[in-house]
Amino acid sequence: PRLAPSLPLQEDFVYHWKAITHYYIETSDDKDPVTDTNIPSHLEQMLDILTQEESERESGETGPCMEYLLHHKILETLYTLGKADCPPGMKQQVLSFYTKLLGRIRQPLLPHINVHRPVLKLIRLCGEILAAPTENEEIQFLCIVCAKLKQDPYLVNFFLENKVKRPDPKSPSAKGVREDLASPDTGQPQAEGKAAEPPDEPKAAADQSNINNYNIVTSLLNLTKSPDGRIVVKACEGLMLLVSLPEPAAAKCLTENTELCELLTDRLSAFYKALPTSMDPLDIETVESVNWGLDVYNMKDDAAIFTGKRALISFLSWLDYCDQLIKEAQKTAAVVLAKTVRKMFFVTVMEPQLMQTSEVGILTSTALLNRIIRQVTSEALLQEMVYFLLGEEKGPETLATIAQNPLRHRLIELCDHLSDEVQCLVIDSCHILHPVVYPMLYSTFYHCPHLFQFRDYCGICQRWDWRGTPKALDKCNLDSPFFEGHFLKVLFDRMGRILDQPYDVNLQVTSVLSKLSLLPHPHMHESLLDPYINLGPGCRSLFSVIVRTLHLQIDPAPEYRPRCNAHSFDDKYESDHHPW
């Protein structure tokens, strides 16, 4: 027998849609789960038809099936069915349909009002209930929307909704759904006397007084609180995409009208506070590098290595996420996010720990500070960390202003702590404190985030803000006393005790001085490396410290003392005219 000819795609598409609508019109008992009906099969067939139609047409051309879907507001109807979850499980089917539609169809759909309007409504349903059975479908739907916005960032303006509240219609009932489907929307203008639905589009950009909702961000933030780690990671990925969008209005809304800043800092603070009050600095230093989202662990194995490892990895993982999020964020959003982390975490949570008097506590908190400094890479967050540690004042440090920044003063003081462990740790973090050297060597303020492997110094320094050219010697105020600064004072003091200190502390001291000496700046080289420099009465240079250390601490054997006294180190040095 001859096979019947296949139906044209549009007729086939309409057939499957009518089969879905007839279910609601004809079925009185809708308590059975949707998986016991043919609805999932019809929806999948509709997707296949739309995909086939697009593949058979020229790029960007809308076929009759897609026109039917848009003209008859099928997505609006599906949203209503999904919100009512009628029959049970329909919300999952609708979320899956939206996700596959946006993912499979290549032509841009979101600009259509009959697509982005129901998409916006469906977004509001996501993340409402934690650990809901629809969480997996919700996060997949939200992530595909984020991916589409990343492809065409301007579309994000459709997703900034005005906060003016409208009267919410009553939750749709099965009866209401059936009545709507019995007289389906033909896409024609509404009859006179029937109230038109208020549009969901944002108002004109000129109305700057309105506050916008960014509901997709709100839904993703809710899903980051899910007990399912996979859902949390996907929600974080979605947020990463949204913060990178270049649209200024979206960036402003993200930082001002959502709880993203609070989420980052609250969770960072919670993970930090969950750390043990005392940890071995070596454990903190040597724990493996972490990458957010790839935090696979075995609780039993971690506990066997050292107490607190699991809490430490959780903290460092979330710190890595904050750092990467700020690095990817739109510029103005990155600045706001970094400032919030500084204010709500570094100042509020970490500073009291760094200012405490307990030696055990300061040992742990300083080791954690070291680890944080080494891990952060985003420019905005590094800048805020420099301000946190050093202050924002741009004038030169003087004896009178040493204590104006208590935290900086405290950290530098700890370099001279009686505990060698504290000394070693703080010295190791001094690569972030080196900006305090510059106000004393220049007439203007200078800072840089951190130092790098040494052969790259010159290339890196090309982009540093030196804040003007150093003054020539004949233009400097030679009458004012030279002040080496608190930081160099401590370094020189430690250098002067180099023969009495532990070997590892000496390595740290010489390492910091070596890094400073490598900086390609004439004043830096002159002050640290020129043995003939005269900074004034009572002022020290690196060379003078070394010479004084040799004089005071090298005691030659008795038989060599007359010769050493006759030929002092200084005399030998001056006669040879060689610095070393």
Three state DSSP letters for 490-513: HHHHHHHCCCCCCHHHHHHHHHHH
- Beta-carbon count within 10 A of 144 CB: 17
Average the pLDDT over 444-470 and give the result.
49
- Residue 322 predicted with pLDDT over 70: yes
236 vs 387, residue with greater confidence: 236
- Cα separation, 428 vs 413, whole angstroms: 14
CA distance 388 to 339: 10
Please report the pLDDT score of residue 30 as a whole number: 72
Per-residue confidence (pLDDT) for residue 177, from 0 to 100: 57
Contact 119, 109 (CB under 8 A): no
Higher pLDDT among residues 549 and 417, named by residue: 549
pLDDT, greater one: 8 or 116: 116
Cβ-based burial of 481 (10 A; exposed 0-12, middle 13-18, buried ≥19): exposed
- Which has more confidence, 128 or 294? 128
Q: Span 394-400, mean pLDDT?
A: 61
pLDDT of 489: 81
Place of tokens 């004949």: 474
* Each residue's pLDDT tens digit, 209-218: 457 789 999 9
**Mean pLDDT, to the nearest integer, of 378-393?**
87
Q: How far apart are CA 456 and CA 520, in angstroms?
A: 11
The pLDDT score that the predictor gives to residue 470 is 52
Pairing of strands 212-213, 161-162: antiparallel
Per-domain residue ranges of the chain: 9-162+211-216, 258-440
Determine which of 277-281, 316-320, 349-353, 552-556 has the lowest per-residue pLDDT on average. 552-556
For the record, the structure tokens of 36 come out as 């016991």
Q: Looking at residue 441, what is its pLDDT? A: 40
Please write the tens of the pLDDT for every residue from 174-209: 555 555 565 544 444 343 333 334 444 444 444 444
Q: What is the pLDDT of residue 557?
A: 54
pLDDT of res. 188: 40
Say what the pLDDT of residue 174 is: 52
**Mean pLDDT within 532-546:** 77
pLDDT tens-digit profile of 402-450?
A: 667 788 878 877 777 655 555 554 444 333 434 444 433 433 333 333 3
> Cβ distance 219 to 124 under 8 Å?
yes
pLDDT of residue 192: 36
Task: Inform me whether the pLDDT recorded for 475 exceeds 90.
Answer: no
pLDDT in tens, 279-300: 988 888 888 878 887 655 555 6
Q: What is the DSSP string of 453-485?
A: SGGGHHHHHTTS---SPPPPGGGS-TTSPP---
pLDDT digits (tens, 9 = 90+) for 78-127: 999 999 998 999 999 999 999 999 999 999 999 999 999 999 999 999 99
Lowest mean pLDDT among 45-49, 97-101, 177-181, 317-321: 177-181
Q: What does residue 161 show for φ and ψ, rounded to 5 degrees?
A: -100, 140
User: Which pair of structure tokens corresponds to residue 463?
Assistant: 């982009």
As given in the structure block, the two tokens for residue 332 are: 């103005």
The arithmetic mean of pLDDT across residues 466-489, rounded, is 60
Q: How high is the pLDDT of residue 488?
A: 80
Alpha helix locations (H) across 105-227?
Answer: 113-124, 135-151, 174-182, 215-223
More confident of the two residues 550 and 63? 63
The answer to whether residue 260 scores a pLDDT higher than 70 is: yes
